[in-house]
Structure 1
């Protein structure tokens, strides 16, 4: 299947191209294409939509904030139930495909209403649109992540699958960041144009992406269950009691926490501490571009070192880069630029490896319990990232306010230094904690190979001979 991403871009020399179990790069790119509309809709949802709806459609910020808060809570509640439901689904189309297809339709229709509102917009109409938007979003995202872990049972192939998704997501996010900038150049201050451009990206990509994703790989038959059927609530409690999963969740929570603290404060640091407001958006884009290039680099490292060792290495690089920010002064913009480049190259290394590890942990759970709950495992993983994003905003902004920083007034040197310390030390501590949690993770390639052999032997024993 033709895509715009050549497979050579992701190619690693550590695994021969002649390996029959190696997944096609073209098919991986096609499978990952659903990340384009999902990511393109996700970025403006938290960054641009609230401001546009307030300025252009007259809704109060308090009302918009409440609606979006309730929407995110609804999204969080949906995640584990969607994971459990897709795990239990049995159809001639597979377990994951029906949810992705149905969710894609709901997502597409609700996105049109969200990005191209018609007539009078009210709090009720916005709440209804967000209700269906998050329903469609979750019905795509959770089964897709679970299916990603099922395309291949091989330890390193799962790293390749996660890499394709990470890079294509980053490209979609970069595009979504550029479109509002173009809108400002064409018609400054035109919020409706920004909304239309971002919504247009979602609209033109959703149907082709659905087609490519659903057709890229055959969905494997659901494993034969040997465990007793349990209520969803009991299953969720069982999954949350898995110590290996909790380590992965904690590590990913810390990664996302550090990234979000940095993202929430970078504009303030560049604008007020560095005194370079013209670079506030550009520096973020600069970091993003190098983040796209980093995915294949970390994949190659992961193929050589293993997943958890690579996650630790990436997090320690993040710690060093963020500690380096402590010596940045308003006169050393070049140093900040260099550290931002390094930050971009290290960005996402932990997320990439940890996402790949989740599927391995789900395999171990299936061997021990007899039930395949990959969808539920990935839903909990997704929920941890969303929680970290909310906590980071709730910590970083009040903290810099408490130390005296205020973007509306002339700040003292002490307040600006405090802003820099939070910007540097908050992510550094978070990434160090992530590395500590995942260090020495016992589920390595050798142990996972044993688990897969045992699962395959059990499957063969349970399937009656023809």
Structure 2
């Protein structure tokens, strides 16, 4: 349930917030630098939160306290970002982005690690993260259809609607967190070593070739698919000739494709393994992105179908990669006796954030360099629009192909994970029996 507002926030931060601050008077270069600076700090936030989360033991569970703590932090950051009460500059954007990202990191890590705890089996995890992606799609679709729902009074992408969008997300966060904490079960793990965690635990995970490949794939896939987000409104408005209102509805097709795509790729993963399914998604993404670029301007339905195809392909990436992290956490737990699931998820959430930040940090200065004007109502030269088109086409295709290539040699498939789960379950049964009868020779056993 928490994935619903988190997906709205992720989309708004990636697609609508950077252009909003350009409209408020902050330059392309300044917005790009602000996002990059905040993400640089954010790289250190996730590891610290992940280690603290893995050490948490409370009467209400490991993850509930973190969600309840992160929600108000995120809400206040959203308020300052979307409802500024005066002039804004780069410093203002950096300050409140950092505040919001702290709360967002806590909730994102908590939800991801909790999902790994709830689902234990290889294919079950693919389904669970597929359902989570489905909730994310619902949240984003509601956001993008606000223009239709409110008869144009709240329009994503318009500066005067951003305050209302911020309030909607502020209200949605506590409702979703409360629902999750009240109704989501948490499995208690047996046979876990009670030791302190440190940054050395990251080295333990990074020594595994499977985790290194997954981190590299997640980073490049995020950078590739995410490169289109910050310039989405600009591209479809100026290069494809659609109004801003129509442009937002096109994004619905991209996001909505995940409702069909996520279960489909989960099914493919059951047939060919998760990493092969991701690679197939990479090939499909590149082909569909190329076709989308070739569609003539102002043709709504062909463009909408192209967006659906691209979104369908991209929906393989996040849920399957998150599911693969959960599999690696089982492998680490078998070998070390430590549950490092939050630490491992901190790695991939960090790579995702860095990838999204780099896309803004690099592309926005390029737009400024080619002379593109991002203010509402601005008229751009053909050369500036051509530069915009090149940014939208080549970077995503090249990077997504590279992301798929990093998964060659990945060895943690369904067969290997089944062996790991069998050994873990045997260990947990033995630990449970020992806690009841005591070890051989102990007073509890003698009784």
TM-score by length of 2: 0.82
Deviations 1:78-133 (A, max 9, x none): 11111111111122222112111222233335444554556898988776654543
Specify the alignment match of 2:9 in structure 1: 41
Instruction: Indicate if the aligned counterparts of 1:41 and 1:198 stay in contact, CA closer than 8 A.
Output: no
Greater Cα offset, 305-314 or 161-170? 305-314
Instruction: Indicate if the aligned counterparts of 2:42 and 2:101 stay in contact, CA closer than 8 A.
Output: yes
Instruction: Indicate if the aligned counterparts of 1:40 and 1:176 stay in contact, CA closer than 8 A.
Output: yes
Matched, 1:292 2:263: no
Instruction: Indicate if the aligned counterparts of 1:106 and 1:135 stay in contact, CA closer than 8 A.
Output: yes
1:113/1:405 CA distance change after superposition, 3 Å: closer
Instruction: Indicate if the aligned counterparts of 1:40 and 1:202 stay in contact, CA closer than 8 A.
Output: yes
Instruction: Indicate if the aligned counterparts of 1:54 and 1:60 stay in contact, CA closer than 8 A.
Output: yes
Greater Cα offset, 69-78 or 247-256? 69-78
1:390/1:326 CA distance change after superposition, 3 Å: same
Specify the alignment match of 1:19 in structure 2: none
Distance 1:50 1:358 in 2: 30
1:97/1:429 CA distance change after superposition, 3 Å: same
Matched, 1:448 2:414: no
Counterpart of 1:410 (choices 357, 377, 381) is 381
Deviation, structure 1 residue 162: 0.5
RMSD of aligned alpha carbons: 3.6
Give unpaired runs (5+ residues) of structure 1. 1-32
**Aligned 1:173-184 pairs, distance under 5 A:** 173-179=140-146
Specify the alignment match of 1:386 in structure 2: 353
Specify the alignment match of 1:217 in structure 2: 184
Instruction: Indicate if the aligned counterparts of 2:36 and 2:358 stay in contact, CA closer than 8 A.
Output: no
Distance 2:232 2:248 in 1: 9
Specify the alignment match of 1:238 in structure 2: 204
Specify the alignment match of 2:101 in structure 1: 134
Matched, 1:172 2:172: no
Secondary structure (helix, strand or coil) at the match of 1:442 reads coil
Counterpart of 1:459 (choices 428, 443, 447) is 428
**Aligned 1:249-398 pairs, distance under 5 A:** 249-277=215-243, 279-325=246-292, 327-330=294-297, 336-397=303-364
Distance 1:93 1:354 in 2: 29
Specify the alignment match of 2:398 in structure 1: 429
Distance 2:397 2:157 in 1: 38
Instruction: Indicate if the aligned counterparts of 2:372 and 2:385 stay in contact, CA closer than 8 A.
Output: no
Distance 1:321 1:87 in 2: 40
Matched, 1:152 2:122: no
Distance 1:465 1:341 in 2: 53
Instruction: Indicate if the aligned counterparts of 2:50 and 2:346 stay in contact, CA closer than 8 A.
Output: yes
Deviations 1:329-388 (A, max 9, x none): 559776544432311222221222111111001111111222110001001110111111
Specify the alignment match of 2:445 in structure 1: none
Give unpaired runs (5+ residues) of structure 2. 374-378, 437-447
Greater Cα offset, 379-388 or 104-113? 104-113
Distance 2:232 2:21 in 1: 25
TM-score by length of 1: 0.79
Aligned length: 429
Deviation, structure 1 residue 318: 0.9
Distance 2:16 2:259 in 1: 22
Distance 1:419 1:111 in 2: 29
1:137/1:457 CA distance change after superposition, 3 Å: same
Deviations 1:418-463 (A, max 9, x none): 6545533322222222222224521111110100111122233344
